[in-house]
């Protein structure tokens, strides 16, 4: 991306709070990822808790099973964009799928934000969505309330419905949004599933939803480049004993000067 494109991205994120990058990944990759997701949804293991039921269309362990999905984290374009917002050492808070069943929606269909923190003019979390299908009005493209990241309040339901817009985009697009933008998954009125992958990125000093370094098996993480490993959290690990704490500087688990 050239300087003008970066400037436009930063302006969009500052003002309306979201940005659409068309043709970010190929149709072929989208189709591969959809097959992976469909298989996991068909074999979904419920943990018999309310949270497990709510999250049945939001898979949390795809990075643990599919190296091509994990390799999305190796993309320098993604790193460049998020570094504008979260600093150069940003890491991954959460990574899930977001699938919208036919004639239905998912847990994201509630009116919500993806971060409980509101700090004026300071982003702590950014949402990322890889659209694996076209996002249309008919299949429930995400509703967003432009500029709502500037307020610490969630608007009343009627205000959101009257003033939100649907983010329509083509298959393969990347959507980046401030995690304080008020949004909701739309309602899929078609007979086909609509799939996406999502990530929540955060500052390097923040806790992650999962201990991704331990959660993701070595056969996946060992095959990722240094950028992806940093995003997973390999440069922000904590020592578990003094032997690890007093390692030489170049071997320390928590790298210096990360915010």
CATH number for 217? 2.60.120.620
User: Closest by alpha carbon to 84, among 168, 178, 6?
Assistant: 6
Over range 69-86, report the average pLDDT.
98
Residue 258 lies in a domain: no
pLDDT of 1 > 90? The answer is: no
Residue 256 lies in a domain: no
- Which two tokens mark 144? 């967003």
226 beta partners:
none
* 3-class DSSP state of 194: strand
Dihedral sign of CA atoms 176, 181, 184, 190 in order:
negative
Residue 120 lies in a domain: yes
The contacts of residue 253 (CB under 8 Å, 6+ apart) are 234, 235, 236, 237, 238, 239, 244, 247
Residue 215 lies in a domain: yes
* 3-class DSSP state of 79: helix
Instruction: Give me the domain span that covers residue 213.
Output: 3-251
Return the pLDDT at 259.
Answer: 72
For 7, what's the count of Cα atoms within 13 Å in the CB-facing half-sphere? 3
Number of domains in the chain: 1
Return the pLDDT at 258.
Answer: 84
Rounded Cα distance between 23 and 110, Å, is 28
- pLDDT digit string (tens) for 213-247? 999 999 999 999 999 999 999 999 999 999 999 99
% of residues, the chain, pLDDT over 70: 100
Q: What length is written for the chain?
A: 259
Residue 187 lies in a domain: yes
- Which two tokens mark 228? 């992806």
Residue 143 lies in a domain: yes
Residue 234 lies in a domain: yes
Residue 71 lies in a domain: yes
199 beta partners:
95, 128
């Amino acid at each position: 991306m050239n300087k003008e494109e970066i400037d436009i991205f930063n302006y969009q994120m500052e003002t309306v709070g979201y940005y659409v990058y068309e043709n970010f990944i190929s149709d072929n990759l989208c189709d591969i990822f959809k097959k992976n997701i469909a298989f996991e949804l068909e074999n979904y293991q419920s943990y018999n808790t309310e949270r497990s039921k709510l999250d049945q269309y939001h898979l949390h362990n795809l990075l643990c099973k599919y190296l091509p999905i994990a390799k999305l984290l190796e993309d320098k374009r993604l790193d460049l964009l998020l570094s504008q917002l979260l600093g150069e050492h940003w890491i991954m808070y959460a990574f899930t799928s977001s699938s919208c069943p036919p004639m239905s929606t998912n847990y994201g269909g509630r009116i919500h934000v993806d971060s409980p923190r509101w700090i004026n003019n300071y982003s702590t979390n950014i949402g990322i969505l890889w659209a694996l299908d076209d996002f249309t009005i008919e299949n429930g493209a995400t509703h967003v309330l432009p500029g709502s990241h500037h307020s610490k309040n969630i608007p009343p339901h009627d205000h959101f419905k009257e003033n939100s817009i649907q983010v329509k985009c083509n298959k393969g697009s990347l959507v980046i949004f401030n995690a304080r933008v008020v949004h909701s998954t739309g309602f899929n009125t078609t007979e086909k599933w609509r799939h996406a992958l999502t990530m929540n990125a955060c500052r390097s000093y923040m806790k992650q939803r999962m201990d991704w370094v331990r959660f993701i098996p070595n056969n996946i993480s060992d095959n990722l480049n240094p950028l992806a490993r940093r995003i997973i959290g390999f440069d922000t690990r904590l020592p578990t004993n003094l032997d690890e704490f007093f390692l030489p500087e170049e071997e320390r688990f928590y790298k210096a000067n990360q915010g």
